[in-house]
Structure 1
Amino acid sequence: KEGSCLCRQELLEQIKNFSDGVLITQWPKYISSLPGSSVEMHCYQNDTNYDYKYWYRQIKGELVLVGSYIVNSGSVEKDFESGFTVSSTEKKKWTLKVNITDGIDAVYLCAASLHSE
């Protein structure tokens, strides 16, 4: 339906605005996996050391916070407690691990900020 989904450019602008214009590299670009397996996605702050790092998921135009890594602690939102893990091995890099349970097509995006949401 027209107007019911958020186009990719608008979504990227929202994340960019939230991320204070921070340059972030996210990889891999695409992942395809079968139920029963797990996948990892990574983000890296190129020019900053922000303490507030986030992962979002978009399905059918709806952008939802999955979890965050703040200072030295990763957490996931209540709806994502099963099968999702947010972690970090270095200050500029953070990771989202997803255990695939069903065939959901989704877009995952990361963001970083000086301040909390």
Structure 2
Amino acid sequence: MMSMLGVWGGKLISLAGRISLVKSVLLSYPTYHSTNSMVPKHVLAEIDKICKGFIWNKCDGNAGLHSVSWDLLCKPRRWGGLGINSFSIKAGPLRAKHAWRYIQGKETLLHKVLFPSMGATWK
């Protein structure tokens, strides 16, 4: 992710352009990986930190200008935000999806790997 940020050059892109890049490119990779596997929370927090830094133009060690709060940017558009998916908020539902998949699917790879070590403790 950091190599992509260096190529794009945050100084040459407007705030709206940086937000579009974060939503369409930077957050698509972690979304795919976190829907298919359990990603540790500290990794997701680091991804959020990188996205915040890119949006606020902190890539080169600059202080950046915070015109709006990160929480406001992460709200849905209908509530006045910009609809950025923060992974610190999204981690809980994705983990619940994995737990549901474990409980419901006896033939899934997740169940076959975890059942010998965990047993029926999740039921």
TM-score bracket, normalised by the shorter chain, equals under 0.3
User: Whose helix proportion is higher, 1 or 2?
Assistant: 2
Provide TM-score, normalisation by structure 1. Answer: 0.25
Provide TM-score, normalisation by structure 2. Answer: 0.25
* Relative contact order, higher structure (CA 8 A, sep 6+): 1
User: Whose strand proportion is higher, 1 or 2?
Assistant: 1
